[in-house]
Amino acid sequence: MNGAYLQTIPDTITLGYYPWGDVASNILIADKEMYGKTRNCPTESASCQTRYIDHTMLKLKRRFELLAREWKRETVNLSSIQKISMNNAYLQIIGLGPVAIKLILNELEREPDFWFCALRALTRTNPVPPEMSGDLNAMTKVWLDWGQQHGYR
User: What is the SS3 assignment for 93?
Assistant: helix
Do 22 and 92 share a structural domain? no
One domain, residues 43 and 79? no
Domain that holds residue 22: 5-53
Question: How confident is the model over 88-143, as pLDDT tens digits?
Answer: 999 999 999 999 999 999 999 999 999 999 999 999 999 999 999 999 999 999 99
**Same domain membership, residue 75 and residue 98:** yes
The whole-number pLDDT of residue 35 equals 42
For 75-84, write each residue's pLDDT tens digit.
999 999 999 9
Instruction: Identify which of 70, 100, 101 has the alpha carbon closest to the alpha carbon of residue 88.
Output: 70
pLDDT attached to residue 26:
33
Residues 47 and 79 in one domain: no
Residues 47 and 60 both lie in one domain: no
Looking at the structure, do residues 100 and 126 belong to the same domain, yes or no? yes
pTM over 0.85: no
Residues 44 and 115 in one domain: no
36-58 burial string, b = 16+ CB within 10 Å, else e?
beeeeeeeeeeeeeebbbeeebb
Cα-Cα end-to-end distance for the chain: 36
Q: Is pLDDT larger for residue 149 or for residue 2?
A: 149
Whether residue 31 sits in one domain with residue 62: no
How many domains does the chain divide into? 2
Same-domain pairing of 60 and 49? no
Same-domain status, 79 and 105: yes
> Do 46 and 84 sit in the same domain of this protein?
no
User: What is the length of the chain?
Assistant: 153
23 and 90 part of one domain: no
**Predicted local distance difference test score (pLDDT) of residue 57:** 76
Determine the 3-state secondary structure of 56 from DSSP: helix
Pairing of β 36-42 and β 23-29:
unpaired
